[in-house]
Amino acid sequence: MEPSHALILALAFPSSVDHLQTKSPSAFPKVFQHEPQGLGFGIYMGSPTGIAAINAALRTGYSTQQLYLNWNTQSDQIRLVTDQTWVFYEFPSDENLTFPLYWGMRGWANLNQVSTGLGLEGISQEMGIGLPLGITMYHKKAAIDLYFEFAPVLQLLPSTLFSFQSGVGFRMYPKLPTLRKRK
C-alpha cells in the first residue's frame, strides 16, 4: 500500500488500519483451511444430470478420481458416472488462486435401465465412455473448488450414439479429525 494511501486510510478509518495490520483469524471453518486435497464431496449440475448429482472425489496432486450419482429429470434416469482426470496445464495467477485445466476418461451406466436384453439379469442396457475436458478454480488456502467441464461421450450399449455432456460443479474437501489410539 502506498504511504499516502495508508495515511489517508489511517486518518479516515483508524480502526480498519488496526484490523489490517493484525492477523485476524479466517472466517472459514478450520476443516476447510487447506488446499483442496483428499476425499471431497459436492454437487454437479448440467447435462445429462438435469437438476443435480452427488459427487464424491479423491484428489491427490494432479490426479482426481470421481464418482457421480446423477438423476436426469428429463428422462427420469439414474446414472452412475466414474471419472479419472489429470491436470495438464495451470493458468498463471496470483500465488494462492489456481486455474488448472484437466482432461480424463469417463465411464457411465444408467442404473434404472435394467433388462435381460444382454442375457444378464439386472445389468444396465445403457453404457458408455467419454473424454471430459474442464477447468477448475480453487484457492490454496480454502478446501473448495469450482469447476466447469465439457465431454464428448460415446454410448456403446444398446446402440452406438455420439453426444456431448457439460456441466458445472463444486466440491468441498474437509480435513476430518483422525482417531488416535489410546496408550
Closest CA to 104 of 81, 83, 135, 80: 83
15 φψ region: left (φ > 0), alpha (ψ -120 to 50), beta (else): alpha
Q: What is the share, in percent, of the chain residues with pLDDT greater than 70? A: 70
**Average pLDDT of the residues in 117-146:** 81
| The amino acid at 139 | H
pLDDT at 49: 54
**Average pLDDT of the residues in 6-13:** 51
For 178, the grid coordinates are: 483422525
pLDDT at 19: 46
The secondary structure of residue 177, as a DSSP letter, is P
For 151, the grid coordinates are: 465431454
Q: What is the DSSP track for 95-147? A: SSEEEEEEEEEEEEEETT-EESTTS-TTEES-EEEE--EEEEEEETTSSEEEE
**Average pLDDT of the residues in 84-104:** 91
Cα–Cα distance list, 159 to 18, 19, 165 (Å): 67, 64, 18
**pLDDT tens digits for range 33-83:** 888 888 888 888 877 555 556 778 888 889 999 888 877 777 677 788 899
User: pLDDT tier at 86 (50, 70, 90 boundaries)?
Assistant: very high
